[in-house]
Structure 1
Amino acid sequence: MSDTQTLIENRPPSVATLFLERVSATPDAEAYRYPVPPAAGEGPDDWKSLTWAQAAERVYAIAAGLIELGVQPEQRVALASSTRVEWILADLGILCAGAATTTVYPQTNEDESAFILADSDSRVLIAEDAAQLAKAVAKRAELPELTHVIVIDPAGVESGDWVLTLAELEQRGAEYLEKNPDLIKERVGAITKDQLATLIYTSGTTGRPKGVRLPHDNWSYMAKAIAATGLISGEDVQYLWLPLAHVFGKVLTSGQIEVGHVTAVDGRVDKIIANLPVVQPTYMAAVPRIFEKVYNGVAAKARAGGGAKYKIFQWAAEVAREYAKASQDNFRRTGTASVPFGLGAKHKVADALVFAKIREAFGGNLRACVSGSAALAPDIGYFFAGAGIHILEGYGLTESSAASFVNPGEAYRTGTVGKPLPGTEVRIAEDGEILLRGPGIMEGYHGLPEKTAEVLESDGWFHTGDIGELSPDGYLRITDRKKDLIKTSGGKYIAPAEVEGQFKAVCPYVSNILVHGADRNFCTALISLDEPSILEWAKENGLEGKSYAEVVAAPVTVALVEGYVAQLNEGLQRWQTIKKFRLLPRDLDVEHGEITPSLKLKRPVVEREYKALIDEMYAGSREA
């Protein structure tokens, strides 16, 4: 048996056990960094640190406080908060109490929050602030099982019997621990691997979300398997900003506990650009939208610098892609990432002019980024690879504890999601669907045995609903969601995500694009533009002072996008080409339910919302 297999097969029953082991092994090492905004509200944040021992003191106090409130093993404690250090401490406190965390996105509306709390049978809610508390208060009559709400940020909150602040819970827990010093060790020691640890509700594009049941063993496996890939080490500094309510954010906390590196935590997406030079991470996970935004921002800045600057950027972008493709191809064949001399020389010049500045903006120490949750357009991936920002695409679902595949370090291949994690099996079904089996797969959907049976076979194979292909040496390429494949009225199949990804690489102003064409005789697209980029462009093109809606309605803007659509169409098969498009009067957003909190497009919602625009594009065609 290999060392990797031994490591994974001899895993402890829970991450709570791993946490106790980590605290015991490196109590004085730095565990977490977090920002404290200045009291006056102006100036830079002050970053504070917690060692593993300091984190443990708070985690154990939270765990004991929950036990004192009567929380029993496997009972659910809901967590409705943005990404912050208290989210991690609370989650670990829940796990060390033997209870299970129900994650709730802070953007979730009142009705859906109440549904999740009721469906999960959550006994306690840990809410970020007064706004999250208000949702529970409004629905209190519908939540008889909810005995307490704990509020992290006490501003504007009155505590009492039903509402406690997190500080009050920790105080009660610390007092309870004084009387019962072995309490945490006993609770953690009693956890079995198949006990429920986490209940994550998938943001359904249709109907109510489903609760995915992830037992303790899933996270323990993830921690060991991620460490076994060799992609992270105890020397790393991770910048964690992804939503922890989402499985992708949550899995990043398991790997960190296993290897013991530092994690800087701040979920404010608008602070990413400012935080990177401060945190100087060695690795960071993100979703494709972030890389698209950075790419669009760099392109827009170059364009604003005048024609010569933009020409240099375009040349450098081509060099980056050529360099990345050549070095990856060579690595695949020979095991070294060398490139032809002439290309290397061009790359050196492009690096001095463009790429070095991009690396600096990412903090200067970035070894790799992990991208997941949706497909990254290969052209954008190659651009960053050539610029020295190595984006390792990965793949997984809530139902597989997030990380089923990841690209292997130096041997990564842009456009693929890499190889399966050690211990995970993969199979491609006859219709192209990706099937997974292994210790990361969920127990099932909460209270929905029929829905579970639809996707989980009795022998453990899970139907992902994604279509993909495996290379002879085991790299997986996702081609689309099974249910998202479009079949035109001419009988041709189209993968909309592929076309959408190509457009994002071509058009520096795009924010979101939805390709439509199921049962139609040609394809159309709904396009929303990135507001800062297009307003910057508008200034130079006689539209200064106009609102976003006015800019996108202007003929000159439509003509601009038309040029990019024509460019896209040149590289497509005839039946894939976009014959007509419409620019949306506003960007798609989470608030309107058009994209999920992890920034994935909800196709049915967008198609319903903009049905009139879609119908208008097909009016007068043979099928109308």
Structure 2
Amino acid sequence: GPPKGVQLTHANLMSAVSGIEDIIEFPEEGRVISWLPYAHIAERACSHYLPIVLGFTTTDCPDPRQVVAYLPEVRPTWFFAVPRIWEKLKAAIEAGIEHESDEDRKTAMKGALEMGLQKVRLEQAGEEVPEELQKQYAAADDKIFSAIRERLGFDKAESLNVGAAPTPPEVIEFFHAIGIPLAELWGMSETCGAGCINPPDKIRIGTVGPPTPGVEIKLAEDGEVMVKGGVVMQGYRNLPDKTKETFSDDGWLLTGDIGEFDEEGYLKIVDRKKELIINAAGKNMSPANIESHVKSGSPLIGQAIAIGDSRPFNVALITLDTDAAPGFAQQNGIEDTSPESLASSEAVVAEVQRGVDAANEKLARVEQIKKFKVLPTDWEPGGDELTPTMKLKRKPIGEKYEKEIEALYEN
């Protein structure tokens, strides 16, 4: 819909800074990178408001596509990025391991990664990590993972966060395995970008963490997340009716997100209330959850949108990852690397099918993707299909690709 001006006061922002600082406990002389659009609350909070209050050094990256190149130069103590950045970093690291020419080192790296994943899964399950595994992991960290962190620019990082859209748990698990404590957080413009954050020393993968100090959160009967506290906006500028409908009668901000709490009081965001898929049989599903599994299914998959509202089954539109596609084409002897050729290539479609199949194994039967279409185009941030922070523009996509969607439901 039309953009709304969120009115935030100095008191709102100071409350947000205080709550985040209490959880993360930032080091002195912190360093951050400013790279997201200035109109986005995550950029304002992470690169402007917090650094101003806490005295961080901020390095400006004028081209968001170059932010990964800035990491080794800046060596940030805190870094926030949207899920797609972390997904691409994961794919790049995995590709580097796969293309390692020294077979002994390649085997060692794969073994170390598997060991790291085993350790993370035990920790997340609340189980004790065997002493022998701890020793083996420490040795692998010293020989392998520390070098990866240094090469990426994360060797000085105290806290690393992801947000603004759902993140596949396996992506976060991967970074934990190589010693990078990535954690989800949750907030919105209406709450200064604050709300929930995982403590760096007690991260629960699959959640956005507990409410920050000074923030109250409860769930409505339908699971909608409701917020009170000093971080909550004054209202939408010059839109009193919109402001009124965004608050409950007793003053709770209605976020539009569906969530649930775990046994530790950590919040898990299921999806946006308005974006839930309700199929022809009346089953409610989270498209974001489906899409995160699909994107994690293959490094060749760039973006994916799940469609199935009022339909008998789910389908997906998929774009190729522009970084991974050329390498895949070279490995498979595909000479024509134009988007149109790649999208119709049997090898490409087969690899995408493999990724979709891998995703379907992790989804309930009713959630699974039955058909998909690889599009001969790239979706750019700020374009017709993605917001500047890479969120899907679902309605415009549905309108723009109506023919492709209907073709998937024929017969």
- Pair in the same fold by TM > 0.5: yes
Question: Where in structure 2 are the equivalents of 1:39-188 lying within 5 Å?
Answer: none
The equivalent of 1:493 in structure 2 is 284
Query: Is the counterpart of residue 373 in structure 1 residue 164 in structure 2?
Result: yes
The equivalent of 2:134 in structure 1 is 344
The 8 Å contact of residues 548 and 586 in structure 1, kept in 2 or not, is answered as yes
Moved more, 248-257 or 377-386: 248-257
Give the letter aligned to residue 434 of structure 1.
Answer: V
Unmatched 5+ residue regions in structure 1? 1-205
The Cα of 1:567 is off from its aligned counterpart by 1.7
The partner residue of 1:430 within 194, 204, 221 is 221
The equivalent of 1:265 in structure 2 is 60
- Aligned partner of residue 8 in structure 2, secondary structure: strand
**Would the alpha carbon gap of residues 565 and 354 (structure 1) be closer, same or farther in structure 2, given more than 3 Å must change?**
farther
The 8 Å contact of residues 286 and 370 in structure 1, kept in 2 or not, is answered as yes
The structure that has the greater radius of gyration is 1
The equivalent of 1:218 in structure 2 is 12
The Cα of 1:256 is off from its aligned counterpart by 2.1
- Aligned partner of residue 250 in structure 1, secondary structure: helix
The equivalent of 1:446 in structure 2 is 237
The 8 Å contact of residues 17 and 50 in structure 2, kept in 1 or not, is answered as yes
Query: Is the counterpart of residue 319 in structure 1 residue 109 in structure 2?
Result: no
Partners of 2:330 and 2:108 lie apart in 1 by 22
**Would the alpha carbon gap of residues 486 and 234 (structure 1) be closer, same or farther in structure 2, given more than 3 Å must change?**
same
The equivalent of 1:386 in structure 2 is 177
Partners of 1:348 and 1:545 lie apart in 2 by 45
The Cα of 1:586 is off from its aligned counterpart by 1.0
Q: 1:359-403: CA deviations, max 9, x gaps?
A: 112322122211111111100001001111111211011111111
The 8 Å contact of residues 187 and 193 in structure 2, kept in 1 or not, is answered as yes
The partner residue of 1:250 within 28, 37, 44 is 44
The Cα of 1:492 is off from its aligned counterpart by 1.6
The Cα of 1:313 is off from its aligned counterpart by 5.6
The equivalent of 1:595 in structure 2 is 386
The equivalent of 1:20 in structure 2 is none
Higher RCO (CA-CA < 8 Å; seq separation 6+)? 2
Give the letter aligned to residue 267 of structure 2.
Answer: L
The equivalent of 1:459 in structure 2 is 250
Give the letter aligned to residue 602 of structure 1.
Answer: K
The Cα of 1:268 is off from its aligned counterpart by 2.2
Aligned residues: CA RMSD:
2.1
Unmatched 5+ residue regions in structure 2? none
Partners of 1:519 and 1:260 lie apart in 2 by 51
The Cα of 1:543 is off from its aligned counterpart by 0.8
Give the letter aligned to residue 284 of structure 1.
Answer: F
Q: 1:65-102: CA deviations, max 9, x gaps?
A: xxxxxxxxxxxxxxxxxxxxxxxxxxxxxxxxxxxxxx
Give the letter aligned to residue 351 of structure 2.
Answer: L
The equivalent of 1:286 in structure 2 is 81
Question: How many equivalent residue pairs?
Answer: 408
Give the letter aligned to residue 347 of structure 1.
Answer: Y
Partners of 2:160 and 2:6 lie apart in 1 by 27
- Aligned partner of residue 537 in structure 1, secondary structure: helix
The equivalent of 1:535 in structure 2 is 326
Partners of 1:489 and 1:315 lie apart in 2 by 45
The 8 Å contact of residues 594 and 602 in structure 1, kept in 2 or not, is answered as yes
Q: TM-score, normalised by structure 1?
A: 0.62
Q: 1:327-381: CA deviations, max 9, x gaps?
A: 2333xx7xxxx62234335534653665233311232212221111111110000
The Cα of 1:245 is off from its aligned counterpart by 1.7
